[in-house]
Chains A and B, each alone.
Chain A
Amino acid sequence: MTSPIDIEGGGTSVVVDGDQQPKSKPEEAKQLEGRSPGQLMWIRFKRDRTGVISAYVVIFFFVVGLAAPLIAKLYGKDPYTVFADERPELFDSAGVPLQPNGGISGEFWFGLEPGNGYDVFTKLLYGIRNSLMISLAVTVATVLTGIVLGVAAGYLGGKPDQLISRVIDFLLAFPSQLFFIASMPVVVSLFVSPRDETPVYVRVVALIAVQWVLGWMSLARILRGTTLALREREFIEAAKVSGASPVRIIRREILPNVVTPILVQSTYMLPNFVTAEAGLSFLGVGIVEPTPDWGQMFSKASTELVMQNDITYMFFPGISMIIFIVAFNLLGDSVRDAFDPKTAR
């Protein structure tokens, strides 16, 4: 693999590193010779304290999401139990917890949800799990589509480029939020059988599909531009002259050079998908009760019943989501800085 970015990035960084700490670790100078851009990025990233803390926070959220069933089992409750009927002594007749602060107690750590009295702690765990899984799936799908179409458009040029670019323009012109709201019920109804309840997976698949269809364009555009620039570089010319097939050129020469925008873009995209998914569920077209979901907890928190009687409830989905989104965005910044330290911010 011959990559100009390798040489450029690696070269600069070696000099910078050397300048900064020439005396403290002289023996490292030898090892520096063999560093890959990945390793360099990793070293730069580790120095960024904000980035590392954000990464830990993000990892924590993913671990919590993955381990939600385990935690719920240890905690001894699930998010589907209607505690307002199981433990009526804890609620008034409107389903508002009698204890202050939404019924927070040693038994119910985050309190109980006004209305049906679901356990807020497990509901939040499962909500994080479901929202993150959906957003992760959307991100993977959009990144793959973006790579395939973006790189293809940039490398092939001509008619295919025209076609893909017009499709991108067309889809970008769509009012996506409105389209989500309008199309979600339609997509869901395509799968519903007359006797059965709409299964949760249909809603999940529909959410992923709708966000995927309208989510891949920005990445594809960036990759098209990058590929377009790379295509004219000497090393690609050289590969062409030496008789490499287009597939080999894309795989071995172009893709390694677009890893940076892909990684940076996807760390920006994921939190966006999380908020978009929460927004859809908030508006009632995404995940619906009783399946736990982050956005749906917001919509519950905004009802008059909760607003007037139990504002504490709002803090749990609210604060957890703010922390997650801020941490993920900071992580995205750090990743970008680590890959491309020269870009001024």
Chain B
Amino acid sequence: MGKGGRHAYAALSLLAAGALVLTGCSSGGSKGSDNDKQDKENAQRQQAGISFGDAKDSTGPAAELPGAKPGGTITVLQRDSFAHLDPGQIYVSDEMALSQLIHRGLTAYKATSDDGKKHEVVGDLATDSGTTTDGGKTWKYTLKDGIKWADGSPITAKDVRQTFERLFAPFISNGPTYIQQWLANTPGTEYRKLLPDGPYKGKHLPDSVLETPDDKTILFKFKSAKPDLPYALAMAGYSVVSAAKDTKVKYDKSPMTSGPYKISEFKSGKTMTLVKNTNWDPKTDAVRHQYVDQFNIEFNKQFEDSTKAILDDSGANATAISFSNQVDAGNLTKVLADAALKNRTVSGYQPYVGQMNINLSQPEMQDKTVREAIAYALPITPFVRAFGGTDAMEVAGGLISPTVSGYDPKFDPFGKKAKPAGDPAKAKELLKKAGKTGLKLTFGYINTPEGQQYSTAMAAGLEKAGFDVQRQEIPAETYYDQVSKVKNNYDIFHTAWGADWPSASTVIPPLYDGRQIQDGSSNYSHINDPKVNADIDKANTITDPIKAAEAWNKINEYIVKDVVSNIPTAYYKQTQIAGSKIGGLAYDDVIGGVDPRRLFVK
């Protein structure tokens, strides 16, 4: 999933002048925290591998949490209103968090440790995570007994067929496209030709692609092996849609739900109320709980607002939380320094990995020595600082996130972990060797307060190595459109990318496959290396998740060390906080935030 301008860490305050009178002198910065170690342990558990669970693992109810009790109301403070409620349109993280409560899919991630850090893929509506007999070309799913929609009608294979067929209809434009492309066996947006109008004009996917022989059985049939299907089906975007209640475009505003909660009221941009769904049977669900009576979701709460409200901790604020907002950069140091407050926080990795792209289409960037000089010279510390320090960003060695299988913490070819401020001496030497001292380097940066801050310091670091850096601002709203144009003027620019599921198959092919370079594609650095392309094809066919992870990591190492087209900058982290009366608080690495399914009121 690409990373747009959705994260604004610091905001301007026009009340600054008042504070001058009210506050005395300041006390200086903090010495950092011990969160680092814990985060890394969590991530390592994560990347140790996610297994596919069997029927026993997939059987509900979910294990009771210690100390949990039913009842109570939780206030949820969110920054952005939910633009989409139709599962087929859900692809952003805050909507994904909501859909954990209201939608269900064929598979789901089950937290297998009590802190919610270790996972396996289990069957959600299906009895298991899927069975295949031919190495991943054909997958069979059987629906559980007793699964119902919120209106009491049963969920059948007909609904599942509808769910996938409607994804080909033109109005579904925001969700993930993996399974559609696999079913149609085409890259890009060609898949829509398979069923141009969706299921709405009487046409259906042929049995050679998707077969539903009876009310309980679903068969996916792919042309080539798709070992990642159980992961993909667990995405919120592939949650089931009711065939009887499919109102097409209108479904996005009032969907039929199947999870433990249903929407009782939604005022877009203001509030949303979730109440218990009485037709949800805990015995059919291995991953969700239904402790809280009601969720009151309030929108338009900036990070500072939600943090302030939760820190206040009185009245309704004591049972307040945010699914997606993090502690704002300004309050982060204060919160983590206070033991009582720190107890109410959870921290973890977000799925994003930041990287500096070197535009290989630019003639001057063809020289590998120059690219190595950039890699050595580029300071990462400005980036870490701009987002709030090591509690918000961790210096990266490779392009694979700690939350993804195959992550190797020791991989660091340019010594960024030891010298995060860059190695200008070595870079200078390399640049001299290439005979390019004083080379003009156009650096496109995103025009946000953070972007301005880190780009100036990064430019200063590159200039120490002998580059002539020309910074060019790019408006935040159109940043990704501009840098994803094949013909752009920038030599270097920064982007971030997050895995859709904990496998690098959702990272390496979209970013580094040279055959898909076109306007708008996510191959920002225009890398088109025959070895990388061939290795991607090979890795895509490996069915053993552990071996596949190794293969992906090899490609990652080759790109960073030998092609030097992308310089990893940082792994995104975040800290979230909850009111003192919230129980069951855990940071879920797969959701990339607080796990809303296990919350209760103490």
Binding site for B on A (CB under 8 A): 80-82, 84-85, 88, 91-103, 114-116, 194-198, 288-290, 298-299, 301-305, 307-315, 318
Contacts and interface: CB of A to CB of B under 8 A. Distances in A.
Interface in B54-91: none
A85 B29 contact: no
20 contacts: A85-B421, A88-B421, A92-B389, A93-B381, A93-B390, A94-B388, A95-B386, A101-B25, A114-B29, A197-B442, A197-B470, A197-B471, A290-B460, A302-B13, A305-B388, A307-B19, A309-B29, A311-B26, A313-B26, A318-B17
B26 A312 contact: yes
Given A290-B460, A308-B333, A310-B28, A93 B389 contact: yes
Given A197-B470, A303-B330, A96 B382 contact: no
Interface stretch (B45-53, B220-228, B450-458, B496-504): B450-458
A315 B20 contact: yes
Report, nearest first, the 3 A-B pairs whose CB atoms are least far apart. A304-B330, A94-B389, A96-B29
A197 B489 CA distance: 11
Given A194-B489, A299-B12, A314-B19, A82 B457 contact: yes
A307 B28 CA distance: 12
A314 B379 contact: no
Given A289-B452, A314-B16, A304 B29 contact: no
Given A94-B385, A305-B330, A318-B17, A311 B25 contact: yes
A116 B20 contact: no
A91 B32 CA distance: 10
A320 B352 CA distance: 43
A36 B31 CA distance: 68
Contacts of A91: 29, 385
Contacts of B391: 93-94
A196 B29 contact: no
B32 A116 contact: no
B328 interface: yes
B384 interface: yes
A11 B389 CA distance: 71
B29 A97 contact: yes
Contacts of B330: 303-305, 307-309
Contacts of B28: 96-103, 309-310
Contact of B30 (A92, A301, A312): A92
Contacts, number: 155
Contacts of B440: 195
B26 A85 contact: no
Interface centre among B329, B385, B388, B449 (most CB of A within 10 A): B385
B14 interface: yes
Given A93-B384, A195-B442, A304-B328, 8 more contacts: A82-B457, A84-B457, A93-B32, A94-B29, A96-B333, A116-B457, A304-B304, A318-B20
B379 A85 contact: yes
Interface string B443-469: 000000100110011001100000001
B381 A305 contact: no
Contacts of A85: 379, 381-382, 421-422, 457, 460-461
A314 B20 CA distance: 7
A92 B333 contact: yes
A325 to B, nearest CB: 13
B26 A309 contact: yes
B540 interface: no
Contacts of B473: 198, 288
Nearest to A188: B473
B23 interface: yes
Given A94-B329, A302-B12, A304-B329, A101 B381 contact: no
B20 A311 contact: yes
A92 B388 CA distance: 10
Given A92-B30, A116-B457, A303 B385 contact: no
Nearest to A115: B453
Interface of B: 10-17, 19-20, 23-32, 304, 328-334, 379, 381-382, 384-386, 388-392, 421-422, 440, 442, 449, 452-453, 456-457, 460-461, 469-473, 489
A99 B25 CA distance: 12
B37 to A, nearest CB: 15
Contacts of B382: 82, 84-85, 116
A218 to B, nearest CB: 26
Contacts of B24: 311
A197 B14 CA distance: 29
Given A195-B489, A303-B12, A311-B26, A289 B453 contact: yes
Contacts of B27: 100
A103 B385 CA distance: 17
Given A85-B379, A92-B333, A289-B456, A307 B25 contact: no
B20 A309 contact: no
Nearest to A90: B29
B35 to A, nearest CB: 11
Nearest to A114: B29
B333 A309 contact: yes
Contact of B10 (A92, A198, A304, A314): A304
Contacts of A305: 10, 329-330, 388
Nearest to A313: B26
A80 B456 CA distance: 9
Nearest to B11: A304
Contacts of A80: 460
Given A116-B453, A197-B471, A308 B331 contact: yes
Contacts of A309: 26, 28-29, 330, 333
Given A93-B384, A100-B26, A314-B19, A308 B453 contact: no
Contacts of A298: 16
A110 to B, nearest CB: 13
Contact of B452 (A94, A288, A301, A313): A288
Contacts of A197: 442, 469-472
B16 A116 contact: no
B151 to A, nearest CB: 46
A305 B387 CA distance: 10
A328 to B, nearest CB: 19
Interface centre among A98, A103, A304, A314 (most CB of B within 10 A): A304
Nearest to B489: A194
Contacts of A84: 381-382, 385, 457
B376 to A, nearest CB: 14
B334 A308 contact: yes
B385 A98 contact: no
Nearest to B30: A92
Interface centre among A82, A93, A102 (most CB of B within 10 A): A93
Contacts of B471: 197
A17 to B, nearest CB: 45
Contacts of A81: 460
A101 B461 contact: no
Contacts of B386: 95, 115
A7 to B, nearest CB: 49
B225 to A, nearest CB: 44
A308 B308 CA distance: 12
A340 B404 CA distance: 78
A103 B461 CA distance: 22
Contacts of A96: 28-30, 333
Contacts of B457: 82, 84-85, 116
A311 B456 contact: no
A94 B333 contact: yes
B470 A310 contact: no
Interface centre among B30, B456, B489 (most CB of A within 10 A): B456
A82 B453 contact: no
Interface centre among A96, A98, A100, A318 (most CB of B within 10 A): A96
A103 B329 CA distance: 20
Contacts of B17: 318
Contacts of B469: 197
